[in-house]
Chains A and B, each alone.
Chain A
Amino acid sequence: MIWVAQMLAGPMLWGGLFSAVYGLHGLGCALDWPDRATPLGPLHPGGMILLWLVGLGLHGLLVALNRAGGSETQRLLVRSGNWVGAVASAVTLLPVIVTSSCG
């Protein structure tokens, strides 16, 4: 059953990351973070972009470190799971670098 956990890891990571970024976005807009600047640029998009990149890094690790054994179908499923999560995180959170944050 370990392979099932490996298969679910990618999508679960997406779920966590998506909730975290979405939560951060809501919190930031409610607390007027976009107006606050840090030396590295505006706080709000900055924080979300950072979180996103960290998440993508974790996804990269998952994909790279995948050592699933077992039958061919099992390996295919684990690999697909990893990629489903990675692509989902990349695409659904892409707007953090594209759109304006609280407008």
Chain B
Amino acid sequence: MTEDQHAIAPNPPRKALLLHRQLDRVWSDLPGWRGTVCSVNHGTIGLRFMATSFAFFAIGGVLAMLIRAQLATRDGAFLDTQLYNQIFTMHGSIMMFLFAIPMLEGLSMWLLPKILGARDMAFPRLGALGYWCYLFGGIIILSSLLFGVAPDGGWFMYVPLSGKTYSPGINADVWLLGVTFVEISAVAAAVEIIVTILRLRAAGMALTRMPLMGWYMLGTAAMMLVGFPPLILGSILLELERAFDWPFFEVMRGGSPMLWQHLFWLFGHPEVYIIFLPAAGVLSTIIPVFARVPILGYGAIVAAILGLVFLSFGLWVHHMFTVGIPHMALAFFSAASALVAVPTSVQIFAWIGTMWAGRVELRLPMLHVAGFFLTFVMGGLTGVMLAMVPFNWQAHDTHFVVAHLHYVLVGGFVFPILAGITYWMPMISGRFRVRALGETAFWLILVGFHGTFFLMHLTGLLGMPRRIDRYPDNPEWEWLNLISSIGGMVMAMGFALFVLDIAMQWLFGRRSHRNPWRAPTLDWAMALPAPSYNFASLPGPGRDDAGAILPLARGEGLLPGAPRNRREVLVTDAGTGRPSHVAVMPGNTALPIWTAMVLGSFFLLMLAGLYVVTPLAIAAILWAGWQWGGFMGSRADAPAIQAAPGLSLPEHWQVRQTLAYSGTVTLLVADGTLYASLLFGVGFLTVIAPNWPAPVSGLGLGALLTAGAALSVMTVATLAARLAETRRATPSGAGFALAGVLAAGLALVLLGGLAMLLDDPRRHARDALRAVLLGYSVFHGVVALMLGLRSLCDARQGRTGSQRRGAAPVWQLFQTFWLTTSVLSLGVIAVQEIG
């Protein structure tokens, strides 16, 4: 693209130290405990995510050691079965939800702005909110273990075992509510990552030239956006079934346990690639650095990412090969599972080719990369084997699968992450590491890992199923298990040493000079440890690699310093990276932690079964949500900001395509996926579940009229929202906003009336699904109403003008989404009534 070459003139150089002082005052966290509570800086939040997830990794690891101790001998006399079930369930759930996902979120939050040339993530407060949700949710889940009521149905929580009848305790609720609470942070992170990559890249950095890490994280975040909603929906449905007896999975009343499996694995398989892609991004970043050549096959790798992102959504049934699905359907998924190995293989050979071209330096990060190769290749191949139906029927649910999944997860995630930590550690701590400790840790982990899991393949082929706590009648499995257990202890020692190495580096390492690995990417174009604002002036064309460190520090790049005493970032066009406007970011605030607390109170009340009190929590959530809008909008038009000589840019209040707008569109993609999963559930139960058709419904003309009226008023509200924006500069703008708000409120009342007419949701799955469809509509109505009120306030308080639009564009988006999904939902109910 020719746009890439559009040069941007440099700003006059200034004293780096002065710029640093000015910026650091604006961007750094508050001192003391207020810093802990109020920070929204991506560097702080990213590191917190990583440190917390590593702590959960340690806890998950301790649980793994308990498992291995129990299985070392066949009578395993030290844990009772009930506790063992809790322990392996918690091990799996902690490793997946509280270690792997948060770790990658933290890595991307910490790294992306640095490697793309920005000062922060797109939504700093959202990042902080995500962190608090993760921390509180994690604590809730973990404390259940202390009280002896931890989830015990396995990490995929199959129904009916995890339904109320067979798990009457609170255990399953902890999983459903806790994990959903934590998933708020995953969806928030996905939105943030996508908008950051698309809109906050350095000026002139076209998509086709962005570092591969950007592509990998873009793919990951897109998958999270589409992959998590099915799980969230499944968890909501199951919790509704458990709490209020609405049948979705219960066969007698028109549900099906297969629906849970589909929803879970629709998330669960992509999850594996969500975990793998960022790790592969780390590899693609590190390997060229230590081979001292550019990466080979940039285009091929991006194409491979594209293939993985899509194909991994066509594999989920391979976890369900033994549930009695016809062979043709199995064959679709078997073929897709084989095909997905192709993009993976393209990447592996591109990495080998890169190393082939260069002279590889086996520094510590590169050792962990070698650990990746030595482990992941085999895990991938056993995965292909498991994708073949006949073999799967033999190996499914045995220790062969346990071995496979650890080869993939440890090879494809843990080793690359260890490589990444050792690689970026100088930037985090500003220090070199202490000699030899890291290497010893690596060898212990590698040997311990293969010692634990290599022979476990054989254990599985000999017939040992997973999730058993003892095997008194099978002495032939004992020696294999004993070796695995010893290997596990060796690996644990390795990890302990790794942590020690990091601690030593932090405390006693020599101070590092800048760019110690001589890496080419922008993340190293800053002083060490990385400053709170990353870049004193922002990179642009010709100044977007590690070589630009001095000009950037001297303020020759864009938007130097913080002359207006606020956090400013440069927003660019998604494709070309042309500068678009300057966004002003919120500073330190306690709002995220408050919001997470009120959200947490809702989940805790649900967990305690105090359903009558939950409306209070919901009101508190709405109140907190309202506060978030306060920062947006401005009362006056501001003059354009000169980002560089000859480059004047407006502030974000004066443009329509703001970060918030992009973020809302992104969020609605996730929301739409949730809705699509719900429609899938309706279709699936209608076609597959036994005990359909449902009993005759009590809906009649009254319901039809109410629904029609609700949709009409909703349409009016949508039109009014539109007009409120287009007429914002005239006095009628506020009038339209008021009309829109009133119409939306009336639509909500009508929906409430419709809810009264519905059949008892406890009667049959169809009735329960209708109640959920209606609830979905009401939920979005409330959000749309809030945004309408915000727009009304904007108009009344003079926060709109010929250029300033306030919340109106976002209100319109939600209003349209609400209308569309409601039309579909009520249409589905109408079709059910006719059919």
B328 close to A102 (CB less than 8 A):
yes
B605 within 8 A of A: no
A4 within 8 A of B: yes
A80 close to B339 (CB less than 8 A):
no
A71 close to B1 (CB less than 8 A):
yes
Q: B332: which of A18, A30, A103 is its contact (CB, 8 Å)? A: A18
Flag A50-87 by CB within 8 Å of B: 1 or 0 each. Answer: 00000000000000000000110110110011001101
B299 close to A73 (CB less than 8 A):
yes
A-B contact pairs, 23 of them (CB 8 A): A1-B574, A1-B575, A4-B575, A11-B306, A15-B310, A18-B336, A25-B326, A26-B329, A70-B1, A77-B208, A77-B299, A84-B306, A87-B339, A88-B314, A92-B335, A92-B339, A94-B335, A95-B328, A95-B334, A95-B335, A100-B328, A102-B326, A102-B328
Closest chain A CB from B703 CB (angstroms): 28
B306 close to A81 (CB less than 8 A):
yes
Q: What residues of chain A lie closer than 8 Å to B58, measured between beta carbons?
A: none
A73 close to B329 (CB less than 8 A):
no
User: Known: A30-B688, A77-B299, A84-B306. Is A15-B313 also a contact (CB below 8 A)?
Assistant: yes
B298 within 8 A of A: yes
A38 within 8 A of B: no
B residues bordering A, Cβ < 8 Å? Answer: 1, 206-209, 298-300, 302-303, 306-307, 309-311, 313-314, 326-329, 331-336, 338-339, 574-575, 683, 687-688
Closest chain A CB from B334 CB (angstroms): 8
Flag A10-22 by CB within 8 Å of B: 1 or 0 each. Answer: 0110110010011
Interface SS, B side: helix
A27 within 8 A of B: yes
A92 to B335, CA, bound (A): 5
A37 within 8 A of B: no
Q: What residues of chain A lie closer than 8 Å to B331, measured between beta carbons?
A: 95, 98-99
Q: What residues of chain B lie closer than 8 Å to A71, measured between beta carbons?
A: 1, 206, 208
A27 to B336, CA, bound (A): 21
Closest 6 CB pairs of A and B: A80-B303, A95-B331, A11-B310, A1-B575, A76-B299, A73-B208
A17 to B298, CA, bound (A): 29
New contact pairs (10) apart from A26-B687, A73-B298, A98-B331, CB-CB < 8 Å: A14-B314, A23-B683, A73-B208, A76-B299, A77-B306, A84-B303, A92-B314, A92-B339, A99-B327, A100-B328
Which interface residue of B299, B328, B338 has the most chain A CB atoms within 10 A? B328
Q: What residues of chain A lie closer than 8 Å to B206, measured between beta carbons?
A: 71
Q: What residues of chain A lie closer than 8 Å to B313, measured between beta carbons?
A: 15
Closest chain A CB from B3 CB (angstroms): 10
Q: What residues of chain B lie closer than 8 Å to A92, measured between beta carbons?
A: 314, 332-333, 335-336, 339
A101 close to B299 (CB less than 8 A):
no
Query: Chain B residue with minimal CB distance to A74?
Result: B208
User: Known: A11-B306, A88-B339, A92-B339. Is A22-B332 also a contact (CB below 8 A)?
Assistant: yes
Query: Chain B residue with minimal CB distance to A44?
Result: B328
Closest chain A CB from B590 CB (angstroms): 38
Interface size on A, residues (CB 8 A): 43
User: Known: A95-B328, A103-B326. Is A76-B339 also a contact (CB below 8 A)?
Assistant: no
User: Known: A77-B208, A84-B306. Is A95-B326 also a contact (CB below 8 A)?
Assistant: no
A42 to B298, CA, bound (A): 47
Q: A91: which of B326, B329, B335, B687 is its contact (CB, 8 Å)? A: B335
A7 to B574, CA, bound (A): 15
Q: A7: which of B209, B306, B334, B336 is its contact (CB, 8 Å)? A: B306
B307 close to A101 (CB less than 8 A):
no
Closest chain B CB from A85 CB (angstroms): 8
User: Known: A71-B1, A77-B303, A92-B336. Is A4-B207 also a contact (CB below 8 A)?
Assistant: yes
Q: What residues of chain A lie closer than 8 Å to B307, measured between beta carbons?
A: 11, 84, 88
Q: What residues of chain B lie closer than 8 Å to A102, measured between beta carbons?
A: 326, 328
A84 to B329, CA, bound (A): 21
Q: What residues of chain A lie closer than 8 Å to B688, measured between beta carbons?
A: 26, 30
B310 close to A14 (CB less than 8 A):
yes
B310 close to A22 (CB less than 8 A):
no
Query: Chain B residue with minimal CB distance to A96?
Result: B328
Q: B327: which of A1, A26, A27, A103 is its contact (CB, 8 Å)? A: A103
Q: What residues of chain A lie closer than 8 Å to B339, measured between beta carbons?
A: 87-88, 91-92
A95 to B329, CA, bound (A): 8
Q: What residues of chain B lie closer than 8 Å to A85, measured between beta carbons?
A: 310
